Chain A
Amino acid sequence: MSTIAKSAAIPTVKEPLLNRIAFPEFLRRGNLQLWLGVVIVGFIVLCAICAPLLTRYSPTDQDMTAVLLEPGSAGHVLGTDNLGRDVLSRLLYGARTDLSVTLIAAIIPFVAGSLIGALCGYFGKWFDVIVMRLADIVTAFPFYVLVIALVFAIGNGTKSIYIAISAVSWVAYARIVRGEAMVVRRKEFIDACVSSGLPTWMIILRHVLPNTLSQSVVYVMSDIVMNVNVIVTLSFFGLGIVPPTPDWGQMMSDGQQFILSGSSWLTLIPGLTVVLFSLGLSFLGDGLSNIIKARS
């Protein structure tokens, strides 16, 4: 009796989700991960956007009179590399390259995979069977092996990065959305849509897809982290982004030959930046998925 009375007396009142603009909610809920993610990623994105304001050197200009300057040298906060290029400039402009390539390489498979998944889940039958077997084939190969092989086959350049990553990562989105779409298709509101004469493509785009996306939106965030690493790895190996376009992976691989001669910052600085950025994105993704989970 007393335990019942006690639990009834202290109702666990959860703060209702008052508004759709989530910004003030983070603060009240103390979603620390999300905040850390926003701060870190926001800082890096802001630096990338404001790159020309933060440095007066071009990332590609060589200065043979100032080679391998250490960080903190006059005029070069993060030093210079073996060709006398300002490391800070290369880092900032490299962020521009890596960030935009990452983003595009995440959006293409997200859109394509979700669409394919929705079609599979909605239509089922032979279309579903063929696409899902294709997905099995793609998953059967290790991710990096397939991406590297594809970039190698297509040739260097950002375009081949987009193609390679899209060709591999659509599978995850297709699987996630397919499962959800199979559930949504059986809901009565889809019958209601059919009976009001909406064409099938419109039912899929306007009614099925939006009801299936929350999971794959969460997945996009972790996929972006993956993409950063893939792109940096590819350019580290000299695949993908073509020099002299500044990029973090290339900075690392250029710098590694000078580690033993004491110029380890050439590798460390871009390396730590990649770690920081990945960390920020992971926090952001976890924070976002917390919110989406809380809503559904």
Chain B
Amino acid sequence: MSDPILQINDLCVSLRQHGRKINVLDHVTLDVPAGGAEGLVGESGSGKSMTLRSVIGLLPKNAQVDSGEIIFDGDNLLADPRKLRSIRGTGISMIFQEPAVALNPIMRVGEQITDGLQEHFGLDSRQARNQAIELMGQVGIVDPEHRVDAYPFELSGGMRQRVMIASAIACKPKLILCDEPTTALDVTVQEQVIDLLTSLRREMGIALLYVTHDMAVVANICETVTVLYSGQVMERGSVHDVFAHPDHPYTAALLHSTPLIDGPAKRLEPIPGTAPLLSERPDGCPFAPRCSYATSACTGIVHPVRIGHSRFISCTHPLDKEA
């Protein structure tokens, strides 16, 4: 496996709410290999988006990074805000969930795509327009010569997401952060966008850090996956290993609760209970209250353990050992 383009080490982020400090990310560690695709899955509120936003410095105003490092291409972005600003767009870019609100409603899409290009490479408006047409063609927008002058409301959801992707790849970044880019799209468009991202990754060697709660999408796009729960990493490893042989009870439960279209027909098993509020998270393993394997040992602090080549798990009762 190639060197990681992005390494997140022991990232702790907290939110300040009504004078209380709530830890939303608790020693999150993951890495994205150069040109690779890492999936980040978890339920709502597990800290997926928070992890992405800390990478590019878009945390909400009441959030604060307490410790840890985010190393992109050898530089710790948390230690050097100027470095972070300089790699935005050219090193790391981001695709958002709702293309309807992630585009400026009153600016032509062509200009939005090349805003970054003009800023970073000083293109004049004629060159920028040509670049925009080329990029729009590259992301599969039909008739880019006309669409370049369209406003976002004149495009469909899928088209808008393609525009977002075009602007994300405009400056040829090494890493794209994807914040559930297909969640707001319908299934056929979803598939097209996923294919597009995969082919762009192959052609341009762009790495992806892909946040979603959709296991099927992860299986489709990513090579490695990190499972987050309540701000903690439960399990990390290659998609194949993790999905075929989950070691963490949470991963297993998550997979059991997801229908598989080509798998054997069986009852879905919901995970009992609900995810704990971040403010009321138990000490020790956050999943313990809902876990059928939990024992008194689970109330102690659990650290991720390497259990194989780039395979980590934080559980006192990994499934394989129990079996």
Taking a contact as CB atoms under 8 Å apart, the answer to whether B96 and A192 are in contact is yes
- Write out the residue numbers on chain A whose beta carbons fall within 8 Å of the beta carbon of B90: 197
CA distance A189 to B89 in the complex (A): 14
From 75 to 95 in chain B, residues with beta carbon under 8 angstroms from any chain A beta carbon are 85-90, 92-94
List the one stretch of A22-30, A80-88, A199-207, A243-251 in contact with chain B.
A199-207
| A80–chain B nearest beta-carbon distance, Å | 53
Q: How many residues of A contact B (CB 8 A)?
A: 17
- Write out the residue numbers on chain B whose beta carbons fall within 8 Å of the beta carbon of A211: 104-106
CA distance A192 to B168 in the complex (A): 9
Of chain A, the residue at the smallest CB distance from B177 is A195
- Write out the residue numbers on chain A whose beta carbons fall within 8 Å of the beta carbon of B15: none
CA distance A198 to B58 in the complex (A): 13
Q: How many residues of B contact A (CB 8 A)?
A: 31
- The reply to whether the CB of B164 lies closer than 8 angstroms to some CB of chain A is yes
Taking a contact as CB atoms under 8 Å apart, the answer to whether A191 and B58 are in contact is yes
| A120–chain B nearest beta-carbon distance, Å | 16
List the one stretch of B33-41, B113-121, B212-220, B235-243 in contact with chain A.
B113-121
From 104 to 129 in chain B, residues with beta carbon under 8 angstroms from any chain A beta carbon are 104-107, 115-116, 119-120
Taking a contact as CB atoms under 8 Å apart, the answer to whether B119 and A199 are in contact is yes
Taking a contact as CB atoms under 8 Å apart, the answer to whether A192 and B102 are in contact is yes
CA distance A30 to B85 in the complex (A): 52
Question: Which of A192, A194, A202 counts the most B-chain CB atoms under 10 A from its CB?
Answer: A192
- The reply to whether the CB of A293 lies closer than 8 angstroms to some CB of chain B is no
Taking a contact as CB atoms under 8 Å apart, the answer to whether A188 and B96 are in contact is yes
Contact with B along A162-194 (1 / 0, CB 8 A): 000000000000000000000000011101111
Contact A197/B119 with A187-B101, A189-B101, A191-B58 known, Cβ cut-off 8 Å: yes
Contact A192/B94 with A197-B85, A207-B104 known, Cβ cut-off 8 Å: yes
Question: Which of A191, A199, A207 counts the most B-chain CB atoms under 10 A from its CB?
Answer: A191
Using a CB–CB cutoff of 8 Å, the interface residues on chain A facing chain B are 187-189, 191-199, 202, 206-207, 210-211
Using a CB–CB cutoff of 8 Å, the interface residues on chain B facing chain A are 56-58, 85-90, 92-94, 96, 98, 101-107, 115-116, 119-120, 164, 167-168, 170-171, 177
